[in-house]
Amino acid sequence: MSIISVRDVSFFYNEKKLGLKNINIEINKGEWIAILGHNGSGKSTLAKTLVGLLEPQKGEILIDQVLLNDETAYELRKKIGIVFQNPDNQFVGVTVRDDIAFGMENLCVPREEMLQKIEFYAKKVGMSKFLDKQPSNLSGGQKQRVAIAGILAMHSDILIFDEATSMLDPYTRNDLINYIKTLNKEGLTIIMITHDVNEALLADKMLILNKGELYAFEETAEILKKPEVFHECHLELPVALEVASLVKNIEVKEKLWEYALTK
């Protein structure tokens, strides 16, 4: 069942700057999709069109079978949330509690319900003890967790991560990604935008953008055996895959592909 449909979407920033060209994608409920591409390939542009922050000049987007436009954006934004790259520039509230509440306040959720949901979702992301803390006392990873809680509290079942780990150190990054894994296991659809192929390997499918166009969209297990796809799109393969593509022994190749997928 298709939860997101992107049909022949094109977006131009202006005459000179192309964002996206003729993009066609179908994403199913519960899938984990990684969107990869070099800087400027259109990844963030695509993310923003999916939540209605940018309106494509051509084509249409359907979220849960409903066409995304000015009138439906408000309702559809309840289903699809986005966590941005800079943890500081999306934290609205003066405290963690206020920030998680922000989305619900916009949806006119009654106060009693808000308080309950805040307790519930803060616990879910492991931030129960931080409800009264200010953002200046939180680490980048903690702020991203608060962002996730705020979106889950709006009952979104699609989460987009727009390079949400790139400003975090490796240790915190791993932590956050493990948490996203649990969310996916619970049935949430995850769209993860990254230029880190290692992160992308966790996904069910990889979508590779190159200069605004869709270059490839395949199961991860298949695409990692095609190093030329990554090279042509200016993406660096992780060591294990680079080695797998060059080594002669087939058993070693298989072991390396296995290793890359399970890390």
Partner 1 sequence: MGIRFNQVTHEYASYSKVTYKAIHNISLSILEHDEFIALVGHTGSGKSTLAKHMNALIFPTSGTVEIFNNIITKKRDKKIKYNSIRKSVGLVFQFPEYQLFEDTVEKDIMFGPLNFKVSIEEAKKVALESLELVGLDESYLNRNPFNLSGGEKKRVSIAGILALDPEILVLDEPTSGLDPEGKNILMRLFKDIHKKTNKTIIIITHDMDLVYQYFNRVLVLKDGELSFDGSPERLFKSDILDKNHLDFPNTIKTLKHIKETMNLDINIYQKTVEDVIKELNRVTKNE
Partner 2 sequence: MNSIIIGQYIPGKGFFYKLDPRTKIVAVLFLMIAVFMLENIAQLFMALGIALFILLLGRISIIKVIKGLKAIFVLLIFTFVFQVALNTEGKILSQANMHFNLYSVIGVVLAFIIWRLLVRVGKFKILMFIAFILGVYIILRYVNFGTDFYSFSLTIYEKGIEMSVFVVVRILIIITFTTVLTLTTKPTDLTHGIESLLRPLKKIGFNSEDFALIISLSLRYIPTIFDEAQKIMAAQASRGADFSEGKLKDKLKQIISLLVPMFIIAFMRSEELADAMESRNFVPGQPRTRINVLKFSMIDVYSGIFTLLCLAGAIVNKVI
Instruction: Give the residue numbers marked as catalytic.
Output: 163
The Cα 248–Cα 263 span in angstroms is 23
Q: Is 117 buried (19+), middle (13-18) or exposed (0-12) by CB count in 10 A? A: buried
Nearer to partner 1, 25 or 164 (CB): 164
Residue from the set 152, 201, 235, 257 that interacts with partner 1 by CB under 8 A: 235
Task: Tell me: does residue 95 bind partner 1 (CB under 8 A).
Answer: no
Residues making contact with partner 2 (CB under 8 A)? 48, 51-53, 74, 77-78, 81-82, 84, 86, 88-94, 97-98, 101-111, 114-115, 118, 134-137, 150-151, 154
Q: How many angstroms separate the CA atoms of 88 and 146, rounded? A: 11
Is 130 in contact with 138 (CB distance < 8 Å)?
Answer: yes
Q: From the list partner 2, partner 1, none, pick the one residue 111 interacts with, judged by a Cβ distance below 5 to 8 Å according to partner type.
A: partner 2
What residue type is 196 in one-letter code?
A: D
d(CA 156, CA 145): 15
Tell me whether residue 73 or residue 167 sits nearer to partner 1 (CB atom): 167
Q: Which does 187 bind (CB under 5 to 8 A by kind): partner 1, partner 2, none?
A: none
The one of partner 2, partner 1, none whose footprint includes residue 86, by CB under 5 to 8 A per kind, is partner 2
195 binds, among partner 2, partner 1, none (CB under 5 to 8 A by kind): partner 1
Tokens matching residue 208: 């590779």
Q: Which stretch binds partner 1 (CB under 8 A): 57-65, 117-125, 146-154, 228-236?
A: 228-236
User: Residue 158 pairs with which residues in a beta bridge?
Assistant: 80, 189
Give the residue from 191, 130, 121, 119 showing the smallest Cα distance to 162: 191
39 lines the binding site for partner 1 (CB under 8 A): yes
Of 83 and 229, the one with the shorter C-beta distance to partner 2 is 83
Nearer to partner 1, 66 or 247 (CB): 247
3-state SS of 75-88 is HHCCCEEEECCCHH
Question: What count of residues does the chain have?
Answer: 263
Q: Characterise 47 by phi-psi region: left (phi > 0), alpha (psi -120 to 50), beta (else).
A: alpha
Residue at token pair 């659809």:
189
Strand partners, 58: 10
Among 2, 139, 178, 182, interactor with partner 1 by CB under 8 A: 139
170 binds, among partner 1, partner 2, none (CB under 5 to 8 A by kind): partner 1
| Closer residue to partner 1 (CB): 66 or 252 | 252
Footprint of partner 1 on this chain (CB under 8 A)? 38-40, 139, 166-167, 169-172, 195, 234-236, 238-240, 242-243, 246-249, 251-252, 255-256, 259
